[in-house]
A and B are shown apart, each in its own frame.
Chain A
Amino acid sequence: MEQKPGRSLLSHGQPLLVTVGIAVVGGLAAWALDWSSGTYFAIGVLATAAGGYLVTRQMIGESAPSRSEVVLSEANAPAEMDAIGLAQGPVLVALVGHSRSGKTQIADWVAEHHPDWARASFGKYVLAEAKERGLPEGERDLTDKLGGDLLSELGPKGFVEHVLADAELPSAKGLLLVDDVYHEPVWEALQEQWGNAIAVRVKGREGDTAEESALDRAAAKLINDVHPVLEISGTDGPDSESSGRDLIAKVEAQLGVAG
């Protein structure tokens, strides 16, 4: 995602302009209306708060692109994707996307109905760790944080090694489906370790207004930077079959495998 130079300059000066604008306009209004002199100070605090709020919003926005800013461009897709295929050995298929898009349900359906696809899950590994550490079940915030902590503790390579250590790896010419890949360093570690890997974006449900988490922002950045070669629709859970079938069809078509 490129930022236009002019827009960049304006966005960085915007908080300062807002602060100066409120201070000057407020100060002149206080003088013209002969307000209590203490009002000047209150206006100064208000101007600071407005500018500071904008600064904070901008810094959050710069740390990761928001969901609405993600633009997929096939023209920018990495050329090395052409080299991915079963001829080079087992292929790792990573499901990426926002939380609540149904990645785990889709992977569960595929694992249940296609035993020839091996399965590994970052989400399930983190949940298992949470259980082992005695964290309460169903607390998404806590498990999200634990996932980030594990990534920091183990490093991307260590994190990937721990998750794949529990997986039943595929035969020489099989497929390994990995779900809940959120962070770019994890994807890079998967690529480095596996080589033969493709990312599949699972699109979120329309109208999902749930608050965007740090994981979602990491996923948005991953999608924006990696440009997954394939895309499937997400699911609510019970209806994971159509998304699962879609995934299999698209992966097989991508790899030139007869269905």
Chain B
Amino acid sequence: MLLNLVVGGLGLAVWLVALARGDGEFLPPPAGAIDYLLATSGLGLLLGTAMAADVRYRLKEDIDIDLLLTRWAFLGAVGGLILWGLESGLN
């Protein structure tokens, strides 16, 4: 769980770095595909970790947390890469 938080935090950090070097627009994007991949899958891990904590401690359900977080990260990577592809291809 801690490792997932660290990876998710790194994803968030990538996003914040991209934000800092942006042109001042609201939510400037990360620069390239790798940035998108890291940031969205990292944030997916962060959100997934929050959901996993909710599932484990509030619902008291014993599910496979590693599998859950892997799926969150995978979906984050898919969503991020699609948006990167659209953004770089269409603009």
B-binding residues in A (CB < 8 A): 15-16, 19-20, 22-24, 26-28, 30-31, 36-45, 47-49, 51-53, 55-56, 59-60, 63-64, 141, 144-145, 148, 213-214, 217
Contact = CB atoms under 8 A, between A and B. Distances in A.
B75 A63 contact: no
B3 interface: no
Interface of B: 15, 18-19, 22, 25-30, 36, 39-41, 43-44, 47-48, 51-52, 55, 59-64, 67-68, 71-72, 75-76, 78-80, 82-84, 86-87, 90-91
B86 A48 contact: no
Given A20-B78, A51-B75, A37 B68 contact: no
A38 B78 contact: no
A53 B82 contact: no
Contacts of A52: 44, 47-48, 51, 71-72, 75-76
> Chain B: interface secondary structure?
helix
A20 B79 CA distance: 6
Chain A, interface SS category: helix
B78 to A, nearest CB: 6
A40 B83 contact: yes
B43 to A, nearest CB: 5
Contacts of A63: 61-63
A153 B83 CA distance: 48
